Amino acid sequence: MYFRLAPRKHGDVTYTYLQLVEAYREDGKNRQRVLYSFGNVEELREDGQLSRLVDSLQRATGCGGAAREPGLDALQTERVLEYGGPRLAQALWEQFGLTDLLRQQLAGRRLRFDAISAIATIVFNRLLAPRSELGIFAWRDRNWWPEFAATTPDLPHLYRALDALLEIKQPLEQALFRRLQHLFNLQVDVVFYDLTSSYFEGDGPPLARYGYSRDKRPDRKQVLLALACEEHGFPIAHEVLAGNRADSTTVQDMVAALQERFSLRRVIFVSDSGMVSQANLQALDAAGYEYLVAVRKRNVSDAERHAPADLATYEEGPHKVRVFVSEADTPGARYVCCWSEARAEEERQIRDARLAKGQAALQKLADQVAAGRLKCATKIAARAATALQRAQARSYFCTEATEGRFEFALNDEQLAKQQRLEGRYFLLTNAAKLTAPEAVEAYFTLQEVERAFREMKDFLKLRPIYHWTDRRVQAHIFACVLAYLLERSLSYQLRAAGVELSARKALDFASRIHAVENAIGEQTLWTVSRPTPQAQQVLKAVGIERLPAALVGYQPPDDD
């Protein structure tokens, strides 16, 4: 049995009632029933009944007397801090031994502040509630910080911590990779490579240039982030590049980094079609790496030869994909032609929509010419080209424009060719031991990595970047990658424990656990709110079996 304060709303006024409640189990579920309601707490307090009730309980339990403890009416809640999120982030941080790794890498540097605490503050913030460095302080004071409460970094300390972090980037990445292999028993033989971009408001740093924008903001300068991951999405290495670099020119730099800094034996380099060039494939061959790359249909020589229309020639593969293998023009390489019914249906719908849009636009133009409103052959041809470009249907139609006359018809040959290739896409590999089903599986894993990449940009708030020098931008992105490493570790452990929650949902459930400061007379006690069943699953997945009911020896920073 226990006492419970129950709010009740009558009109626009909310009253609080004191109830005696009994907890019991029925049909395997936890339930509660009210044994007695004592009435409105304010009325009980005003007429002294609340104090008399407390006195009688103390006498019944042998705790009465002149020196009795303050009653229920003396209980005050002073502060409520977020506990679960920081505790979960700290557990992930400790699993990688990041405090020890940073201490080793920063040894010998003359830093007159706690750089490790400052770096942890930045990384935890990116993971839990991304803010600018200036906004970190207001966020930090709302959180429970068991390990880092003794020192509160100033704003210049956060900037200097970023500088120190960038100086140890390469050895820290290598140390984390070794720790990653040991922690999760990973045998890395497949590396997934992808690029993303992040734009700036204003000029940005010198690395910021105009280029192909994945954020659909070609009007903004940007930097590129090149990231190499293993098959579960754990980051291995990353580079921050000028925003105007062509995708295909970045591969060789990453290959060189993987060769020089990581002891990877057999590596299959997996990438999408934007990275494909003959120079890149030659560089991978020269480095002794195998590759699996997606290839655009238009880049496949004689695509129909490598993609038979008869589905009976295809073998069943994973993810409801049929596969057909053929030799490529390059010695030792193979094309894996994949056919997906879902993809075929999607492409059919796209084709039909473009055909309908192009047909309507050309018919409208033909009606204008027939009515005599447009006579110039050059203008008619230009209008037709513009209409087909907007409809993305240029290859589907043949047009003929003369003075005062316009005709169009379907390009049956081109349309039939595209219909035969609908639902088909190509993978190119030189990995002799990689079967076609394994190639398809790796390609789908690449798509998962690409989704995780988008998650890093959206969830960890890679943008906006509040820095204007190359070094600070590079350091900021490194902090985001470290937060991404913790997020991937959480996802991996949730999946291994059979917990069907995304990392985002898991962090949300954990963040609902709070540390509460209660004052009773002269005494202060910090308690921890009870986690929900979902939060308990998340904590258990990362090795936290139970949370303490009370926090002893902890004093959070005073509110300014």
**pTM listed for this prediction:** 0.73
Is the Cβ–Cβ distance between 337 and 352 less than 8 Å?
A: no
pLDDT band of 462, cuts 50, 70, 90: low
280 and 204 belong to one structural domain: yes
Rounded Cα distance, 225 and 218, in Å: 16
Q: What is the domain extent for residue 28?
A: 1-68
Better-predicted residue by pLDDT, 58 or 350: 350
221 and 367 share a domain? no
319 and 201 in a common domain: yes
pLDDT at position 409 is 95
In a domain, 524, yes or no: no
Residue 189's pLDDT is what?
80
pLDDT for the residue 450: 74
Whether residue 442 sits in one domain with residue 406: no
> Which residue, of 68, 95, 117, is where some domain finishes?
68
d(CA 142, CA 138): 7
**197 and 262 together in one domain:** yes
Burial annotation 498-534 (CB, 10 A radius, 16+ → b, else e) = eeebebeebbbbbbebbbbbeeeeeeeebbbeebeeb
Best CA proximity match to 91, nearest among 36, 147, 9, 39: 147
Does any domain span residue 253? yes
Residue 543 domain flag: no
Kindly give the interhelix angle for 251-261 and 169-184, rounded to the nearest 10 degrees. Answer: 70
Q: How far is it, in rounded angstroms, from Cα 476 to Cα 399?
A: 54
Residue 191: pLDDT band with limits 50, 70, 90:
confident
pLDDT at 63 over 90: no
pLDDT averaged over every residue in the chain: 85
Domain-embedded: residue 45: yes
Question: What is residue 213's three-state secondary structure?
Answer: coil
195 lies in the same domain as 290: yes
Answer whether residue 477 is part of any domain.
no
Place of tokens 């803010």: 131
Asked if the peptide bond before residue 464 counts as cis, ω within 30 degrees of 0, the response is yes
pLDDT digit string, tens, across residues 547-559: 887 776 556 555 5
| 130-183: pLDDT as tens digits | 877 778 888 888 888 766 655 667 888 999 999 999 999 999 999 999 999 999
Residues 307 and 352 reside in one and the same domain: no
Considering the domain architecture, whether residues 365 and 458 belong to the same structural domain is answered as no
Q: Which pLDDT score, from 0 to 100, does residue 32 have?
A: 79
What is the distance between the alpha carbons of residues 294 and 479, in angstroms, rounded to a whole number?
31
Asked if the structure places residue 371 within a domain, the reply is yes
Residues 54 and 195 in one domain: no
311 and 381 belong to one structural domain: no
- Asked if residue 455 and residue 400 are part of one domain, the reply reads no
Q: What is the mean pLDDT of residues 280-296?
A: 83
| Tokens 């409809």, located at residue | 391
CATH classification of the domain holding 307: 3.90.350.10
Closest by Cα among 477, 483, 456 to 205: 477
Q: Which of 193-197, 398-402, 422-426, 523-527 has the lowest mean pLDDT?
A: 523-527
Q: Which of 366, 396, 421 is the C-terminal boundary of a domain? A: 421
- The label of the residue with tokens 């316009």 reads 406
Choice between 45 and 457, residue whose per-residue pLDDT is larger: 45
Q: Which of 421, 452, 480 is the last residue of a domain?
A: 421
Domain count of the fold of the chain: 3
- In this structure, the answer to whether residues 326 and 409 fall within a common structural domain is no
> Could you tell me if residue 272 is inside a domain?
yes
Confidence check: pLDDT of 487 > 80: yes
Residue 533 forms part of a structural domain: no
Q: What's the pLDDT at 400? A: 94
First to last CA, the chain: 40
Whether 67 has a pLDDT exceeding 50, the answer reads: no
Q: What is the DSSP string of 1-45?
A: -EEEEEEEEETTEEEEEEEEEEEEEETTEEEEEEEEEEEEHHHHH
